[in-house]
Amino acid sequence: MVSSLKSPRQWRFTWETLAHLPTLRLYLFDAETNPLFQCSKLKSSLNLEQSLLLVNWIEEIDNRPVDFLLRIPVPRVLVDPGCPVEIRATEDHIEAKLVMILPVDHPLVSDFDSILILGNKDYCQERETSDSALLSPLSSDSDFKRLSSKGSVHFCCKSCSKKLTKEPLRNFVEMPSVNWREAADNWFGSCCCSFGGISEKLVYAYANSYSCTEGTCLLDNASITICKEDLLGNIFSAYDEKEPNLIGETVTSLCCEEKNKHVNMATEATEATEATAEHENTNDRISTCPVSPAYTPLDQHDCCIDLSQGRSASTNPCASLNKEILRKIIALEIDKKTFKRGPLGNGFMINTFNLSNDIEWVEFVCSNCSSLLGAYPSSKNGFTPADGGVRLFKHCISTCMSVDSDGNIFRRHTLPRAFVDWLLDSATDELSFRTIVKDLGTKAPMLQIVLLTCKAWCCTGCCLDTKSGAEGPVPKINLLPVVKVLYTDCSLLSEAESRKKEEWATKNQANEVYMMACQIRELTQSLKLAQETLPLSCSSLQGLSLSSMERSRSG
């Protein structure tokens, strides 16, 4: 008889396979059962017609033997029916192995799968929606094409669907690679005179393309950047007069420095010709223009150039500076403040070389539901974006009111997938790549990640009910692509243990990346939830927790 004392739904199953290995592994576990001592005469059988694996055993209940039977859906893979199912019991789970004809990542598998589903329109539509919308690679190029094809787009909060933009945006610009300087030097050489200094020209061209302007949306893989003036509600207007613009402040300072250089040259020439009267006039001009002003608004004529009008101020003692000097000053400022060490970043993940002592990242939240939407760089203790741009994370926003509809271009973006996308893009050795994720505010280590393999597939669920009359259609399940990782939640460590993680990162040359604390906590929580898909004995390795994270199919 089948036991009625325990419901099979308490038993969870997880299927897993790795790249290039024709083995499909099954984990069956129940928190209340010790299969090694309780499950006798364990056996299994495969029903390929129904895509089911049947596992049964005999267990002593109240001194009488009781038959147990579990029905486990088998994912759509090419299983070899001629090979027997290997099955064994451990203290906290039952493990089974099926032999596949071909590994799941073999090209012939996808072709054969297409033939199998050709006559099943419902499944074909379901598979198309799952693969194309949710499993397609996270690509700024793909998002750029879809946004451009729409013509105009409003951005909304993904949590509450509140509209974020005043007017629909129509101008979209795909951001160049973050490795712009390395790419330019590799192609044209790092010498400033090579090929007419074309490497430096590319740097300035990149800098100009990165500038944030009203009505333009800049895209990278994880975020979009829009001008603060495009946001609905003009939320920064109250601080605009109080908060100095970092870029404008630096331009003003550099203009004054350039002016003083010219004035000093004139002074030296005057002293050489003993022109006393002109010498005094020059000294007067020097005294009226400080070398390092704390902050001078760009629309005031006490600066050396009236940048807001785009021309030299006629009443300014430095009105002789021509447009070419101004262009060089602005280009120098851009390179010095923002691009010498790389761009400020997208706020989602910041590399060490993007960090700046002059910049702090501020969370940007929805005014309606307080959900995190993105971040913006601000000068220390500031309130407004230092470069005028607010970074909105793609996994936090939508391109339409209906978040789950096909009209939402960012529907496939999630926090784990965005993180994995960066992880795989940065990894040099997929078998053992180490990363320390630090709090962008405190710079303290929060999460330790070790990438084990970037090509694994798994699916999980509950076993089917076997009670009389309850047997229904077997649900179709598919293996989903994941990466296997080891991790440690460093936020739970003591100060001494945190120092050891820092030493580990230095010794192993681990990559350091900075994220906002709330994002790290959410990422850690997703790792802990994924860890629960495996039995306890299989959820750790070498003192680290073993888990998985979803990835795109081609990742």
| Lowest mean pLDDT, pick from 68-82, 253-267, 428-442 | 253-267
| Residue 487 in this model has a pLDDT that exceeds 80 | yes
Spatial distance between the Cα atoms of 488 and 544, rounded to a whole number of angstroms:
6
Spatial distance between the Cα atoms of 463 and 267, rounded to a whole number of angstroms:
89
Please give the residue that has the higher pLDDT: either 402 or 82.
82
The pLDDT of residue 394: 94
Listed residue (441, 416, 364) closest to 523, CA to CA: 416
Listed residue (54, 104, 96, 97) closest to 78, CA to CA: 104
Share of the chain above pLDDT 90, in %: 35
| Residue 322 in this model has a pLDDT that exceeds 70 | no
Spatial distance between the Cα atoms of 523 and 547, rounded to a whole number of angstroms:
12
Spatial distance between the Cα atoms of 12 and 461, rounded to a whole number of angstroms:
6
Mean pLDDT within 84-108 = 91
| Residue 107 in this model has a pLDDT that exceeds 70 | yes
Spatial distance between the Cα atoms of 53 and 290, rounded to a whole number of angstroms:
82
The pLDDT of residue 220: 87
Question: With 0-12 CB in 10 A as exposed, 13-18 as middle and 19+ as buried, what is 529?
Answer: exposed
Listed residue (71, 23, 26, 153) closest to 474, CA to CA: 71
The tokens for 313 are 């101020």
Spatial distance between the Cα atoms of 347 and 397, rounded to a whole number of angstroms:
15
Mean pLDDT of the chain: 75
The tokens for 456 are 């694994």
The pLDDT of residue 203: 59
| Residue 56 in this model has a pLDDT that exceeds 50 | yes
The pLDDT of residue 275: 62
Spatial distance between the Cα atoms of 109 and 98, rounded to a whole number of angstroms:
16
- To which residue do tokens 């001194």 refer? 63
| Residue 164 in this model has a pLDDT that exceeds 60 | yes
- C-beta of residue 156 within 8 angstroms of C-beta of residue 400: yes
| Helix (H), strand (E), coil (C) string for 398-424 | ECCCCCCCCCCCCCCCCHHHHHHHHHH
